[in-house]
Each structure stands twice: as C-alpha cells, then as structure tokens.
Structure 1
Amino acid sequence: MSYHDRTMANAEALLFGALADVIKPPPPVNYLTWAKNNIVFSERISAKAGAYNEAAFPFFSEILIGLGPDDPCQTITLIKSAQVGGTVAANIFTLGSMDMDPGDLLYVHPTEGNAIKWSRQKLTPLLKETTSLSPLFPQTSREGANSVLYKERKDGRGAISAAGANSPASLSMVSPKRQVQDDLAKWENNPAGDPEMQADSRSKAFFNRKVLKISTPLVWPGCRITRNWLEGSQEEYHVPCPHCGHLQALRWENMEPHLDPNAPDKAAFLCVADGCGGFIEEHHRAQICRPVHLGGQARWVARFPERKRYHRSFYLWVAYSALEAWGELARRWFAVKSGKSGDAENREAEQVFWNDYLGKAFEGAGETLPWEDLRDRAAEKGFKRGTIPPGALVLTIGVDVQGDRVEWQLVGWGKGRQRFAIDYGVFDSFSVPPGGKPHSGHISEPEIKELLDGLLTRTWPDFLGNRRHASMLAIDGNYSTSDVFEWARKHPLSRVIMTRGVHQEYAAILAVVRGDKNNKGKERKYRKRFYNLAVSVLKLHLYRGLKKTDPESMGYVHFANGLPDEYFVQLVSERRTPEKTRNGVVEYRWKLPEGVRNEVLDTMNCAQGAAYRLGIFQWDEDDWEALAARLEVPPANPQLDLEDALMAAPAGRESPTPAAPAPRINDRVAAALARAAAAKQRQGQS
C-alpha cells in the first residue's frame, strides 16, 4: 500500500486531528506583550510617536493585564486627566482583541458624530499602520465589510462597531463580548433612556465579558465615570519616596501648598511619611514610576481589593504622565488663580483645571448660601448701589426678556474672576416717562426699546467720580426672538449680542448658534450675533463663588448695598437636583421652585456671557493693572470712558491671545491693554 493510500485510509487519525484543532486552547491573550510587539504610533495618532514603550506608560501595564482573560474582573474603569494617553490603552484593547482573540467589539462614543470622527481620524489609520492587522481588514469602502462605523475582518471572525450613545438603534445592533465606553462623563440620556445601561446590557450574556469605561470626569454628583470609579476597587498608583522609600500616591494636596509662583518649575510633592520631610521632584518621576516587573517598586493599590474580582477602577492624573511637566501644571494653576486660563472658552477655568489636570470631578454646589446671608453681607460689606467700586474695571449688562417686562443687571468684572453686582432694574408697563403713552412692557413696544437704548448710552459713576459706559450688553433671545433681534440689530455687534441657554455641563461657555434655519432652509439673519450660553456651568461657578468668604479669593462675588430682598431670593432661586425622567433614569437638572422667579440669575448669566465675548478672562494681572492705571484716576484725568482710556494707551507689546470666539472690536481693546502694560514695564526698567 502506498503512502498516499495509508494516509487516506487512516480515518481515525483524521478524526483525532480535527478534534485536536477544535479543542486546542487559543494562544494566550496578553495585551501588554502584544502592544510592545505590534503598536507603532505615528505623529497623527499619538503625541508619543513610535513603537509602544512601556517605560513611557508604566501605569498602563496593570490595566492592560486586567483587560486580559486571566483577570476575573468584567468591568474596568479608568478615570483620568486629559492628555495622559488614556486612549492608548483603549486602542491597544481594541486592536489587540481583533488580532489575538477575534470577536465582536463595540466602541461607544457620546454621539454618533464623535464615533465617525474617531473612526476616520484614529481607527482607520491604526488599522492601516498596524502590520499584524492591515492584511485582515478591508482598506477601501468598496469592500462590503468596511464602512465608517463598521470594520469587519476579511475572514468574518470579528468586527469593530462604532456607535453613539445618543442613538439607541446603534446600541442595539450587536451583542459584543468586549466594549469600550469612551468619554463616558459626556454621555446624555437618549430617547430610550440611559445609554450606559443599554450598552452594558449588550454584553450581559458573556460571563467572560470585558467592558472598559474611560473618561475625564465632569461634575459631581451626576458624573458617570466618577460613579463607576466609586463602585469599583478605587486603585491609585503608589510610588516610593526617593528619600525614604515610603510607598504613596502622588496627590495634589501634597503639592499645591508648596508651590512658588516665582519658581513654578520647582514644583514637587512633599513626602507623607512621618519624619521624612523630603520632596519628590520631577526628575525622580521616571525612576519612581517604574513598576515591579521592570525592576521598580511602583504598584497599583486598591482601597477596596475585594471588588477587584468583578470591577477594577483606576485613577490616573497628569503628575504620573511624561506628557506633562510639573512646572507646567504649577503655571496652569497660577494662571487659573490669577484669572487667566487658555481653557476658559470650554468651561470655567477652575473646573477645567480640576477635571482636565487633576482628573477629579468638580463638586458642583447644588445649593448656595441662604439668601438672607447674602443680603446681610451686602449690607455689612457692600458698596453704594449704582456706583462702580474699586476693582470693577469692565462693565457688562445682562438683559432678560419676559412677556410683560424686560429686566437688566449691571455687573462689574475684575482680576481673579471677581464680579461686582452693581445695579438692577426693570422696564415694564409702569416705566412710562412723563407725558408718555401707556404700553404693555413687551420688548416690541417702542418705549421699551428706547429704554434699552438708554442702557447703552448711560454712564455710571465710579468711586472716584468718573463716569463709565458698559462695554457690552447680552440679551436673552430665547423668548420673542424676532423682536429681540429687531432691537439688537440696530446696535453694533461689538456692543450687543443675543444669547440662549444650553444645559450640558461640558458645553462651551459661549458658542455661535449653528443650524438655526428658516422655513426656506436659509440660516436666519441673527445667527452672527446669537450665541449658545452654557448656563448650567455658569450657575455652578456662581454658586461656588457665593460661598467664598475671602473678598480677595478667586471668583468672589461683591454686592452693592441697597439691592432689594427679592434680588437675593432670585439670585439663588434654582437648585441642582436629581430628577427621574419618563424612562426612570436619574438626571441632574437645575430646578426652579414653583412660585419663585429667577430673572436675577438669568441676567447675571447673560452679563457673564457678555464678559466672555469681550475676552476678559484671557487677561493676566498685567492687563488688569494696566486697565486700573487708566481708569481708577481722579476726575481731573480726561480719560474716563473704558474705550477712550484704552485707545489712549501707548504702543507696546502684542495683543494677548483672545478667547474663542474671538471678538473683533475687542482685539483692539486687548491690544491696547497689552501696550499699556508694556509701556509701564519699560518705564519701570528705565
């Protein structure tokens, strides 16, 4: 019998060979090893271009191990600062799964738009650049298994589905063993209810499921990623003190008290060990962050180790990351304290620092002080109503429109994000000048428009007797929009803007309204001066400022005495409270008790929106001091008006970068401030 005949006749050998292939265990799934052997980041994908370097991300090693099948936990939560490379871990988990243990994987973003952007800018380039994966996935849209939101292996053994949490349909299309829930803090409830619950349910059938939840936090209570962190093992990265060897987590409270504004690059952590007193400095970071398996001592330490078997949660912030210098962290903090921060266009600067740099939720004040306490503070420490006090260098007006009245508030702004409630008024049916005819108080009435015009030409006295105009007025255009625009359009965009409130707590403070079209499909005429205003964020920070007791502290709120009790009642009228939706989902919303009005709070928000449009929160102390030098002078000085004072400033250094969106006329204002500060500096040097 020939060899061929013997082989073909050995049916038993063929049977056992086939069975062996079926029951053969899959190769080990080790994401850390896979990353080191396969991942090469280009500059367009990561700030750390090149092959994956474990030494650059030593804190991710344990997280990647936890994502593997040898760790029994089913959920891993990573609460983190921005820009610490968190998406690196998510990408390794996604790509490594497709290579080592293919199957369906769901990658969920806050919106479908975010998912499309991620797929085009991150996922597609990674699939092309990863050598082990590029032959396995279609590279053109002509191939049926390749679309923006769906990438299937050519052999059909696995696929990546990208989805938006705002789309219930996209969350119900797959049942994946693995998931990534990205930017979880920004997820909002969709028409079907809680998107996190919907996404979690898609993987419930798998006993060996792995769900990675990852995000920078936002506001607590109500922050999804913070809730998951608290429900898990709460692991922090402990490193040894280079002086005494004591293992400890690097915490902001052990750095902040020792920062020197004159030497931010000397930022360091004080060792917490009794009797040590040594400082952990930045040049120690690479050494102390080295994990045990790389010859170091650093390790993740869980507050609740018993939870590790089902839910591991990790906290990571910029102090550990080689992508951020400690000196830059210190400078950023001093910029926030001084009132200047390049992140102010996104959310209020203190919250941005807390979220994006410390990786911690910003604790929102759902309630503020009792209104009586604020009234008493104004009576004891306040300034004269209608008079501009020292430090109130820029004036803005906020206007709220109701069916039978228009209410306005004059607010002053100074360095350190301090605000001054200077005056408040109401234009209604009783606001009839002598000899005038009766009117309804609606903004469409010529008499009301004339009174509003008067706010733009009116001047207020300061504490020295000078008189100043308000630099900008912001009027709420959400009610009777066409009538509001009819009045606003007659004034320069540099003096008057329209606003409408938006309630997302991650929204930009001020953003041009887009997509607002008429019935002919054309954008409405008022679009260029109409802005979305993140009122929920502004309320959080106002309430936080109202609780501060030191008049020199950042964000302190000063009040004129003589404001009526109703002013203070309305200012603190709303509460941030949990509320169940129709779907039984809990959301945190600002609620106004029945029978209480809130126009004072609304006009305060509008006045701050005008201040953001002016770009004043980008100014530094030199800018504010230069402005004070021009404005806070005896009346004999002819420069009494803000714009006149600024135009008279001498030439000097270039304008500081304006806030986004950049105001046109106020580029000149900022430039004048900069020139004045530079001239003052030159005089001091000479």
Structure 2
Amino acid sequence: MTDLDALTAELVDAAWRRGLAPEPQLTVSEWADRHRMLPTANAEPGPWRTARVPYLKDIMDALSVSSPVERVVFMKGAQTGGTEAGLNAIGYWIAHAPGLILAVWPSIDMVRRNSRTRIDPLIEGTPELRRKIATPRAKDPGNTVALKEFPGGALVMTGANSATGLRSTPARYLMLDEVDAFPADADDEGDPVALAVQRTVTFRGRRKILMISTPTLAGVSRIEKAFAESDQRRFHVPCPHCGTFQVLEWRGIAWPEGEPARAFYACQTCGGVIEEHDKPALLSAGEWRATAPGDGRTAGFHLSALYSPFESWGEIAIDFLASRKDPTRLKTWTNLKLGEPFEDRDTAPLAPDTLQARAEDWGELLPDGVAIVTAGVDVQDTWLAIEIVGWGLGEESWSLAYEAIHGDTARPEVWDALDRLLAQRFPHRRDVPPLPIAAVAIDSGGHRTGEVMTFSAARLNRRVWAIKGRGGPGVPPWPKRPPKARRAALAPVHIVGVDSIKSTLFARLRAGEPEGAGACHFPADRDYAWFGELVAERAVRKYTRGVARLEWVKDAGVRNEGLDTRVYATAALHGLYAAGWRLTDLAVRIKEAPRPRRSRHRP
C-alpha cells in the first residue's frame, strides 16, 4: 500500500466514524450562538449573541430536546426579543431535531407578512438552514409562503382564523405568536389555541409548545391565563450596591423633577441608584426564579420592557407621562412596557348625571382645539339620528350637535334633509376658514341598507361612507384594506370594529379629564336623555368554549342611538386616518393660527 493509499484509507475511516458519531446535544441558545445570523434589516445585524439578551437563554433552552419542559409561556413587554427567541427555536428544530413544526399567527395576512419578513430572512441568513430548504421556485411546492419542507419534517404556517390550517396536521413542535390577538373562535370550530395544541397530543412527552404574547385585558388575556397555570418565573437581578436580588418593577423607576429622560432605578432594599449604563451587568448576573409550584412540564416567564437592552428607562418614563391621562394609551403602555394585563374596570355602568354635570358652554364658535369635524348617522325606519363631533389633539372631542330627522327613511326627502345638514360648515375661534364635516359614517347594517348605500355612493367624494359594525376582539376601528362595492350604483361597505371604539370611549368617559388627550366635552344645552343613550351599554365578561371575552350589552328599556352615533363618528375619524389625514398636524396648525381681530366699535 502506498502512502497515498494509506492516507486515503485513513480519511475514509475518519469520515465513516464521524458519520456514526451521534449529533452533538446542543441547546437552542448554543445552536443560535453558533449558527444564527440576524439580517441587515435587524436593528443589530450580524451573528446572534445570547449574551446581548441573557434573559432569553433559559426560555430558549427550555425548548431544547434535552429539556423535560413541554410548554413554554412567555408573557412579555415590547422590545424584549420574544419573537427572535421563537425564530431561534424554529431554526434549531429544523437543523438539529427535525420534525413537523406548526407556527400560528393571528391571521392569514400575518402569516404572509411574517413568512416574508421573518422566516425567509431566517433561512437565507443561516447557512445551516439554507442547505436544508430548497430555494423557492415558482413550481416548487416544498418552499412556499405557508410551507417550508426540509429533511425529516416541514414548517407549516397558518393563521388562528383558519380552522382548516389548525386541524390538518399533527405536529411535534408548535409556536403560537401573539396569542392575545387570536380570535375567540376559528371558523366556529372552537378556541384556536386549543385546536392547535390538540395537533401535538400524539407527541406527548416529546412535544414543544411555545406561547408568546404581550397581554391585553386582565381576566380576558390568553397569555395571562396560561402564565397563571405555569411556575410563573420572574427574572431577578442583583443590586450593584447591596447585592439583593429583585424583580425590576415600575415602582422602582424614578427621575429628577421634570427630567424623565434621566430616569434611573432605585433599589427596593437599600435605595441605591442604579443607572441605565448598569443594565448590561444586571442582565448578565440575573437569574430566573419560579414563584409558583408548577407541574414541571410548563415553564412560564414574565418579562417587562424594563429589562430590554434596546429601550431605556428614560424612554419608557417619557411614554408613561404621555399616556397616563389617556386610559386607552395607558392600557397600551401597560401591555407593551410592563408586559402586564390591564386591569379591566369597564364592567361597571356609567351614570348619565355624572357626565351631564361636566357639560360646558363654549358658545357658537368652534373651540380652539377643534381641528377636524366628523359625523355619525344611525338609521331607523322612521328617523335618522346624527351626532356631529369635533376632534383635537390626542382625540380630545367636542359634541357639537345632535340632531334627529323624522320621517319615512325610505323616502328621498329625509335623505335630502340629511344632505343639507351634512353640508354645513362651522366657524372657528381661530383665524381659519369654517370647517366642513370632513367625513361621515352611516350605519348600513340594520335599517334601509339599500338607501344608505345609494346615498353614500353619490357622495363618496365627500367621504360619506356606508359602514357596518362588527363586535368581538381584534376587529380594528376601520378596515385596513378598502372594500369594494358589490355593484357600481352602490357604495362599498366598511366593516367597523365597534367593540374597540366603545372600550376606548368608555375608558375616556370614566377618566373624566377636563381637557387634553382623550377628554370628552359636552354642550350645556344637551338633555339628560341623550346622556342616558350615550352610556346605555356596558361590557360584560362572557365565555365562549372556555375563552373569556367582553361583550357589550344594552340596558333594557333604554335607547342607545347616542352611543351608536358617537361610535360611527369615531369610525369616520379612523377612516380619515386610513386616508392619510394627520390629526396632530392639523390640530397644531390651527392652534398656532391667530385669533381674528374684532373691532372695538359697533357698526
């Protein structure tokens, strides 16, 4: 045997032995540190570094095949890396422990978006994954928007609103992202979370389920419920002064008077000041500690944005000051920054006399703050109810008028009267031209649907929109995509999320702010009956197949046109947003306009 033959035999033998050797038992964090590359669109592109977000290590490693944990629940604030941790787990499963993976997002539209903006860059930027998944081609069924095949398995992606996608495939791995945005029911077949989890039962003992979400309302939030059923781990960090381990909480944030950008953290034990630049050392020395017994199979993690290396305490403090007086913005801040469900106090009824007591007299001219005027129209068989609302900075609102046009609404004279009413303009206190009604939303979902759609079709250039209200969670105040008319002579019908508008309105009414963002102003001459109509409904917590949701119900014997017209006028404002109108810019421009000069002498 020649030296070359001996060398060849040695290389073949070494390769054969490597082929027989078992795969190294990596954890998800180890795999990500070795192989994951963040795309250029990421805020910090390049190799993944778990050391940058050390609190994610235990979360990811619980999703490793060597971990006994089957279910991981991550209730989080924004900018904490939760979705990236989920992508690392998907990459690890594809490359290191292949099997069928089911990834679920709230809707099919989000599947398309996330497949393009998250999954494709994950694959393309990671050579170990790129080798296993075919390059997408027009005729290749193995690499599509909703399916990525690889040796030993496939990544199937679907929306929580598709029962077919949720019940079609058994899966060893399951990722549920933003579960609090999931619909309560998937095509009338039940809770989408339960349907998806059912796909993993044949892999019990070997399965991995990851639930990620920022929470929403307390008592309704899915992620809150799942976290409560876990061992409830919280990330403890040591004080650099006294060494006491503690959870970072909002009550520990403070700042010099008038300088929220300089916010710091005060140790809850010794009071020592911990500055923003101390955060990396805190995170590196931190550790997860369970605060509930748990069952050993479900690991729950809660993390607020106070831990985020990508957002400072000062930025969070500034956001808090901007949000604290507006209940709707405060809810969003609580969910996104603290990663906590917002305590729902919206189930108690509001008293009409409480609101009437706040009524004020601003005269015949529009108040200084009004920048946009919208109207909402409720249609009955024998009358139309109309509220005209002025809007200012931060959606501060003024109820400018409430009218009823009586008559058979199947006849044209009623609609002619409405047309004249909507054509009026409102003189302003500032030196600006009188403001027209910029947009109108008319309910087409109850009475006189044909008349409403015909009236709207002839006035679309004036932004007179036919709408239909839809209740339930997750329905936006205005559709993201413009609808199409069913026939040329009829207007398109815009689907309006009435529950979200009502929740915002009632939160603002309860706050009772005299002025500023979200404040609601009412004229002194408005009668008591109208205030009764405005608060004629209340939110009641109901359960559908075990899933809690808020449902708005009307008090018996009370009319609710006052509420409906306000909801529709608010929807019209959101329609203007969708059309590109910027309320903030308009409000600032009008507030900066001078007041008109008035002569001291009477004519």
Structure 2-normalised TM-score?
0.84
SS at match of 1:526: coil
SS at match of 1:560: coil
**Deviation per residue, 1:356-405 (Å, 9 max, x gap):** 3333333444335432xx324423x4224975685552443322222221
**Deviation per residue, 1:83-106 (Å, 9 max, x gap):** 432211111111111222222221
How far has the Cα of 1:219 moved from its partner?
Answer: 3.2
> Is structure 2 residue 305 aligned with structure 1 residue 318?
yes
CA contact (8 A) 1:128 1:139 kept: no
- 1:362 equivalent among 342, 348, 366: 342
CA contact (8 A) 2:135 2:143 kept: yes
Tell me the distance in 2 between the aligned counterparts of 1:237 and 1:501: 43
- 1:328 equivalent among 302, 315, 321: 315
Give the match for residue 6 of structure 2.
Answer: none
- 2:176 equivalent among 174, 178, 181: 181
Count of aligned positions: 575
> Is structure 2 residue 451 aligned with structure 1 residue 483?
yes
Give the match for residue 209 of structure 1.
Answer: 207
CA contact (8 A) 1:81 1:357 kept: yes
Tell me the distance in 2 between the aligned counterparts of 1:282 and 1:148: 41
SS at match of 2:502: helix
SS at match of 1:332: helix
Q: Which runs of structure 2 are paired with 1:127-206 in the superposition (5 Å)?
A: 127-141=123-137, 142=139, 145-154=142-151, 157-188=152-183, 189-191=185-187, 192-205=189-202, 206=204
Tell me the distance in 1 between the aligned counterparts of 2:170 and 2:24: 23
Q: Which moved more, 1:603-612 or 1:623-632?
A: 623-632
Give the match for residue 393 of structure 1.
Answer: 370
Give the match for residue 282 of structure 2.
Answer: 288
SS at match of 2:51: coil
CA contact (8 A) 2:101 2:173 kept: yes
Tell me the distance in 2 between the aligned counterparts of 1:631 and 1:417: 22
C-alpha spacing 1:591/1:233, structure 2 compared with 1 (3 Å): same
How far has the Cα of 1:563 moved from its partner?
Answer: 2.8
Give the match for residue 438 of structure 2.
Answer: 472
How far has the Cα of 1:42 moved from its partner?
Answer: 1.6
CA contact (8 A) 2:389 2:398 kept: yes
How far has the Cα of 1:234 moved from its partner?
Answer: 2.4
Q: Can you give the 5+ residue segments of structure 1 that lack an aligned partner in the other structure? A: 1-16, 291-295, 340-346, 430-439, 638-686
Give the match for residue 567 of structure 1.
Answer: 530
CA contact (8 A) 1:413 1:419 kept: yes
C-alpha spacing 1:183/1:95, structure 2 compared with 1 (3 Å): same
CA contact (8 A) 2:476 2:500 kept: no
How far has the Cα of 1:446 moved from its partner?
Answer: 1.8
Tell me the distance in 2 between the aligned counterparts of 1:601 and 1:378: 15
Q: Which runs of structure 2 are paired with 1:198-347 in the superposition (5 Å)?
A: 198-205=195-202, 206-255=204-253, 258=255, 263-273=259-269, 276-290=270-284, 296=285, 298-304=286-292, 306-307=293-294, 309-336=296-323
Tell me the distance in 2 between the aligned counterparts of 1:635 and 1:364: 49
SS at match of 2:384: strand
**Deviation per residue, 1:24-69 (Å, 9 max, x gap):** 976424111111111112214x332111112211110110122224
CA contact (8 A) 2:219 2:548 kept: no
Q: Which moved more, 1:593-602 or 1:102-111?
A: 593-602
Give the match for residue 33 of structure 2.
Answer: 36
**Deviation per residue, 1:212-248 (Å, 9 max, x gap):** 0012223333222222122222222222233333322
Please tell me the residue identity of whatever aligns with 2:347.
Answer: E
CA contact (8 A) 2:176 2:211 kept: yes
C-alpha spacing 1:584/1:39, structure 2 compared with 1 (3 Å): closer
Please tell me the residue identity of whatever aligns with 1:406.
Answer: L
Please tell me the residue identity of whatever aligns with 1:359.
Answer: G
Tell me the distance in 1 between the aligned counterparts of 2:539 and 2:354: 24
SS at match of 2:227: helix
Tell me the distance in 1 between the aligned counterparts of 2:159 and 2:44: 28
Tell me the distance in 1 between the aligned counterparts of 2:120 and 2:329: 34
Identity of aligned residues (%): 26
Please tell me the residue identity of whatever aligns with 1:514.
Answer: P
Tell me the distance in 1 between the aligned counterparts of 2:43 and 2:411: 54
Tell me the distance in 1 between the aligned counterparts of 2:576 and 2:484: 24
CA contact (8 A) 1:474 1:499 kept: no
CA contact (8 A) 2:356 2:528 kept: no
Please tell me the residue identity of whatever aligns with 2:538.
Answer: R
Tell me the distance in 1 between the aligned counterparts of 2:560 and 2:322: 32
Tell me the distance in 1 between the aligned counterparts of 2:336 and 2:405: 42
C-alpha spacing 1:302/1:633, structure 2 compared with 1 (3 Å): farther
SS at match of 2:129: coil
C-alpha spacing 1:498/1:354, structure 2 compared with 1 (3 Å): farther
Tell me the distance in 2 between the aligned counterparts of 1:144 and 1:490: 47
Kindly report the root-mean-square deviation, in angstroms, between the aligned alpha carbons of the 2 structures: 3.7
Please tell me the residue identity of whatever aligns with 2:150.
Answer: R
SS at match of 2:145: coil
How far has the Cα of 1:166 moved from its partner?
Answer: 1.8
How far has the Cα of 1:178 moved from its partner?
Answer: 1.6
**Deviation per residue, 1:537-586 (Å, 9 max, x gap):** 221121111222442464233333343333222212223223455x6755
Tell me the distance in 1 between the aligned counterparts of 2:363 and 2:312: 46
Q: Which runs of structure 2 are paired with 1:437-586 in the superposition (5 Å)?
A: 440=408, 442=409, 444-457=411-424, 459=426, 469=435, 471-479=437-445, 480-488=448-456, 493=461, 496-503=464-471, 505-511=473-479, 514-518=482-486, 526-527=491-492, 531-552=494-515, 554-581=517-544, 586=548
Tell me the distance in 2 between the aligned counterparts of 1:90 and 1:512: 27
C-alpha spacing 1:456/1:337, structure 2 compared with 1 (3 Å): farther
**Deviation per residue, 1:593-612 (Å, 9 max, x gap):** 45443211111122223444
CA contact (8 A) 2:77 2:305 kept: yes
Give the match for residue 564 of structure 2.
Answer: 602
- 2:71 equivalent among 72, 75, 99: 75
SS at match of 2:294: helix
How far has the Cα of 1:112 moved from its partner?
Answer: 2.9
Q: Can you give the 5+ residue segments of structure 2 that lack an aligned partner in the other structure? A: 1-15
How far has the Cα of 1:74 moved from its partner?
Answer: 1.8
Give the match for residue 360 of structure 2.
Answer: 383
How far has the Cα of 1:280 moved from its partner?
Answer: 2.4
CA contact (8 A) 2:366 2:427 kept: no
CA contact (8 A) 1:577 1:591 kept: yes
Tell me the distance in 1 between the aligned counterparts of 2:396 and 2:530: 19
CA contact (8 A) 1:54 1:61 kept: yes
